[in-house]
Chain A
Amino acid sequence: MKKEIIISGFGGQGGLAIGKNLAEAGMAQGFYVTWAPSYGPEMRGGTANCSVVVSDKPVGSPVFAHPTELIALNAPSLDKFEAGVQPGGMVFVNSDVVTDRVPRADLTAYYIPCSHIAEEIGNPKVSNMVMLGAYVAATGLLKPETIEAMIQAMFTGPKAKLVPLNIEAFRRGMTAIA
């Protein structure tokens, strides 16, 4: 089993955090993981992406041209990476930001209204957690309880009040797939 995931979006949308969460949760479940960010002279509003590998064997290359899954949080990201996704792969699109559809018929596309769901819950900042929930539900790679335990560990002290919000966002994302 080897998942190679590209998560891409505007800086500030939480794409790099989704990647870090996947790597953390993969590690917690005993997988080999890597997280590699694109880095450059980025500015707020520019596009940022990261590459994540979750594998049952040691990870060779942490970067790759053909992801098994693409999470596209904005339109330029879908344009840039969709062609490279492995045949039979999955594409997750934040449909509140991206109006395009995935043209390739050999991919499974999920259109998740992440921003809309996050606003319903009461905080637009958790839209990335909605997307994480969708990814976890669609791929079955990681256990929901692993993610929820990670969210508990992530927000402690004065930030502990953010735990229920993030868990709700994650669960709503999972429901969006079912």
Chain B
Amino acid sequence: MEKELWKGNEAIAEAAIRAGCNCFFGYPITPQSEVPEYMSVHLPEAGGVFVQSESEVAAINMVYGAAGAGMRAMTSSSSPGISLKQEGISYLAGAELPCVIVNCMRGGPGLGTIQPSQGDYFQATRGGGNGDYRTVVLAPSNVQETVDFVQQAFDIADQYRNPVIVVCDGLIGQMMEPIEWHPVPKRNLPPKDWAACGRRDRDHHNVINSLYMDPEECDRHNLHLEEKYAQIQANETRWEAVHCDDAEIVITAYGTPARIALTALETLRAEGIKVGLFRPITLWPFPEKALHELAGAAHVRAFLDVEMSSSGQMLDDVRLAVEGQKPVHYLGHAGGVMPTVEEMVESVKRLEKEVK
């Protein structure tokens, strides 16, 4: 397959179209505006519907409507815009509607900055909306993965009738990198016989709703969701371990910091320092078991969590998984500043001396 040079945001849009996305609703915000821009031209060409909504709140509710009618619906935004969508995401999760949401993260809180950040980890993995719900969160760390994960996201959403969030950061959205267009993998998906798209020959109306006036019924609904989330945890948890087999220091990172860490690994390994990288690919479900086991290995002495977040957000999940077996340290920047190879190298060296 021939390699093509693509900008992250445009590749996200093209990937979605190739995966059969037929409804896109969005609103421009830096650093993801090329997603709706590309969609506005190319989705109608592919027979789909593009609407630039009047606001992010409108966009996510249009996703609710289209997904409820059985369409492959998508929206994208960046951090402050994703905050505005949280109510809608809770409703989508409650009504069990499949959709894909891309968050090209920028610095916060509030309007923050337009530069890359990972300050929305809590929001994505804990659920920024109300109620007991989970969304699958995929975290690519380069443009090829972004393309692949956006395409897989539609099938994951349809399989579990659940929103799937793809979190990248401003750098992935803005940068260009060679990619290959792989054939889109197709899962064996259940029919959307629940969709509210006309009564057809059914003996009943399909109703899309997240309201349960009877508390017993709402309890049962929540238990059903729990069972579904347990299935997702069992089937969809993904991670990558690089040089972890003999690592004394393990860097934990996702997205852009994880690829920066690969350069740090190269430098450190060349100096004989045994360092590895544990990279969660799904932030929810978090690869808790794999990280717990790694923490238990005799050769691992300490962890260094690296994020584009001021005091660490994934850090909580890393600590929960490590469960005190080994010390967990943190290196991070917020507000759009990226961790550098040099500071990762320095931090690992300092840590290595401390634990020896």
Tell me the B residues contacting A by CB distance below 8 Å.
Answer: 3, 5, 30-31, 114-115, 170-171, 174-178, 259-266, 338, 340-342
Contacts and interface: CB of A to CB of B under 8 A. Distances in A.
Contact of B114 (A32, A40, A65): A40
B175 A35 contact: yes
Nearest to B173: A39
18 contacts: A33-B177, A33-B178, A34-B176, A34-B177, A35-B175, A35-B177, A37-B175, A39-B31, A39-B115, A39-B174, A58-B262, A60-B263, A60-B264, A61-B260, A62-B175, A63-B260, A64-B341, A65-B340
Given A39-B30, A39-B170, A60-B264, 15 more contacts: A20-B5, A23-B5, A32-B178, A33-B178, A35-B176, A36-B175, A36-B176, A60-B260, A60-B265, A61-B259, A61-B262, A62-B171, A62-B177, A62-B259, A63-B171
A41 B177 contact: no
Contacts of B3: 27
A24 interface: yes
B178 A37 contact: no
A63 B342 CA distance: 12
Contacts of B176: 20, 23, 34-36
A23 B175 CA distance: 11
Contact of A36 (B171, B265, B342): B171
Interface in A24-52: 24, 27, 32-37, 39-41
Contact of A39 (B114, B262, B338, B342): B114
A64 B3 CA distance: 24
A37 B177 CA distance: 12
Interface residues of A, number: 21
A62 B266 CA distance: 14
B263 to A, nearest CB: 3
Report which residue of B5, B265, B341 has the largest number of chain A beta carbons within 10 angstroms of its beta carbon: B5
Nearest to A65: B340
Given A36-B175, A62-B175, A24 B5 contact: yes
B5 A40 contact: no
B175 A33 contact: no
Interface string A109-145: 0000000000000000000000000000000000000
B342 A33 contact: no
A37 B175 CA distance: 6
